[in-house]
Amino acid sequence: MVPILYSFRRCPYAMRARLAIAVSEQKVQLREIVLKHKPPALLAISPNKTIPVLQLNEQQVLIESLEIMVWALSKHDPEHWLTDQLPQMLMLIDSSDYEFKPWLDKYKYADRHPEQSEAYYREQAEDFIMELEQRLNRQSYLFAEHMTLADMAIFPFIRQFASVDKTWFEQSPYPQVKKWLAGLMDSDLFNACMKKYPTWLESGKAIKFP
């Protein structure tokens, strides 16, 4: 069977899965869903009921976005996203997912967390932004002069961070992060992966991706 990817366009986890699938030229059937109306077919195969989910066959299902990325790139990695620094890349991605992301969520939804101010949550998240800035002062991307797994796994979340208060971000003291983010957002790959598709439940169409 052609693998089936359950995705939600704006979800950063789904974004990074689509990016890896697209660059690796793995053919999947895309099923765009609505988070408030998850299809029974997805709920039946996803223990945590989240997306992205990649159903490879009747027995094998990948339910973690990073797992999907590595699966795709292990099949074909034409732009060398996987390097000999993979362990270090995974450590930085962990920092993004488990240290930066919780602060990002509180920064995005500061009104839901009135125990501290929006500025406070942003300052906590900035620790990770500073780390990226230091890396990008040394080279064009986080681990090399070309984009790697780390860049593409992390940047969808930095995109969210930048969008919370665009005026503040544009004036922030992170020129290399801003340049890096702008370049990735302007890339043909990202724009191709952000194409809008009808939702699967409404259309019933099998959408070939990429």
Give buried/exposed letters for 164-187 (b at 16+ CB in 10 A, else e).
beeeebeebebebbbebbeebeee
Predicted confidence at residue 93, as pLDDT, reads: 98
- Residues 65 and 92: their CA atoms lie apart, in Å, by 15
pTM: 0.93
Predicted confidence at residue 51, as pLDDT, reads: 87
Predicted confidence at residue 192, as pLDDT, reads: 94
Predicted confidence at residue 200, as pLDDT, reads: 83
pLDDT less than 50: residues of the chain: none
**Domain boundaries 86-189, corresponding CATH code:** 1.20.1050.10
Place of tokens 């797992």: 67
State the angle between helix axes of 118-136 and 175-185 in degrees (0 to 180), rounded to the nearest 10. Answer: 80
Domain boundaries, the chain: 4-79+194-209, 86-189
- The CATH T-level fold of domain 4-79+194-209 is Glutaredoxin (3.40.30)
Question: ∠13-121-112 over CA atoms, to 5°?
Answer: 80
Predicted confidence at residue 1, as pLDDT, reads: 83
**Residue 32 DSSP label:** E
Predicted confidence at residue 38, as pLDDT, reads: 84
